[in-house]
Amino acid sequence: MNSSIENTYPYYSYIPSCIAANSLALIIYILLIIWFIQSLYVKCNPRPIIIFIYVSHLVTFIELIFRGTLHIDILNTKVFYRITSSLISISPRLILLANYHCLIELRGKTRRRILDRTTDIMLPFGAISAAILLIIGNQFAFNSNRFHLSFALRQISAGLVLGLCLFFYIVWHFSVSHSRRLYILLLLTISSICVLIEAIYVQLMSIPSFFIILSKNELWYYLFHVIPVFVGLTTWSIFHPSRLLPPPENQVQHDQSGKELLPPLPSSLVD
C-alpha cells in the first residue's frame, strides 16, 4: 500500500474551507425552507418524494455545517469520520430514490411485470447492500492491515450505487411512455445526471490511486459531490413534481387507438 495513503487514509489531506462550507450551508437551508413551503402548499403530495428530498436537504445542510464549524482535529477522529462519511452517502442516494419513485408516480403505479419485479428486487437490495458494505469498509479503514479490504468493500458499495444510477435510465425508458416522460423530462434528466456524476466521484474515491489525487484538494469534493447535490436539489425545488405530474394512467381517458388523452404540458415546460 502506498505510504501516502497509509499516512492519510481515510481522512482528506486538506483543511476544509469554513467560508465555502458555511456559505453553501446557508443556501441549502434556504432551499430547504422553499421545499418545505411548497410541500405544505400541495399537502405533502406525493409524500415519499417529499420526504426523500426534504431529508436530502437536511442531511446536506448538517454535513456542511459540520465541515464549516468543527476544527480539523475534531473532524479527523474516528467518531466524526463515521458520522460525516455516512452523511455524505445519504443525500445523493435519497435523490436517487426520489428519481425512482417519481417514475412510479409518473406512470400511475401501473405494473409491467418483468421490469417491475426486477426493480423491486434490485433497488432495495442494492441500496441496503451498498450501505452495509460502506459501513464495514469504513470500519476497516482504521486498521492499516486491512486497507486493501476497506478499499475493496468501498469499491463494491460504490459500484452498486453506480449500477442503480445507470439502471434508472433503463427503467425510465421502458416503463414510462414517451408522452408521459415529457412532463418530467427536464427534472429527471438534470437530477439523474447529478446523481450519476456524484456516484462516479464516489467510485473513483474508492480506488487508491484516485483517492490520493482527489483527497489532496477540496475543489474535487465541491465540484463532484456538493455541486451535483446542490444542482439536483435546486432542480427539484424549481420543478416541484406536484405541479408537473400528469394524472395516473387509470384515471386518464383513451382514444379509439388506445392512446392516452393527457392534459396539456405545464406552461413552465412549454415556454
Report whether pLDDT(269) > 80: no
Q: Strand runs (DSSP E) across 56-210, as ranges?
A: none
Q: Give residue 174's domain range.
A: 18-243
Model confidence at 82, pLDDT cuts 50, 70, 90, reads confident
- Structural domains counted in the chain: 1
CA distance 129 to 195: 18
d(CA 206, CA 215): 11
Number of Cβ within a 10 Å radius of residue 141: 22
Measured CA to CA, the distance from residue 160 to residue 142 in angstroms comes to: 23
On whether residue 154 sits in a domain, the answer given is yes
Q: Which residue has the higher pLDDT, 8 or 240?
A: 240
Q: Does residue 261 sit within a domain?
A: no
Q: Angle of helix 178-205 relative to helix 147-175, nearest 10 degrees? A: 170
pLDDT for 104 equals 80
* Confidence (pLDDT) at 54: 95
- Give 128-167 pLDDT, tens digit per residue: 999 999 999 988 888 878 888 999 999 999 999 999 999 9
In a domain, 2, yes or no: no
- So what's the pLDDT on residue 20? 94
Q: Any idea what the CATH number is for the domain that residue 93 is in?
A: 1.20.1070
Average of pLDDT values for 63-88?
Answer: 87
Query: In terms of pLDDT, which residue wins out, 194 or 122?
Result: 194
d(CA 151, CA 137): 7
- Residue 271 resides in a domain: no
Note whether residue 212 is domain-resident: yes
User: What's the pLDDT at 81?
Assistant: 85
> Can you give the pLDDT at residue 229?
97
For residue 192, the model assigns a pLDDT of 96
Does residue 9 sit within a domain?
Answer: no
Inside any domain, residue 174 = yes
Residue 83 domain flag:
yes
Mean pLDDT of the chain: 85
Q: How far is CA 227 from CA 27, 161, 232, 238, 271, in A?
A: 12, 19, 8, 16, 27
Residue 258: per-residue pLDDT: 56
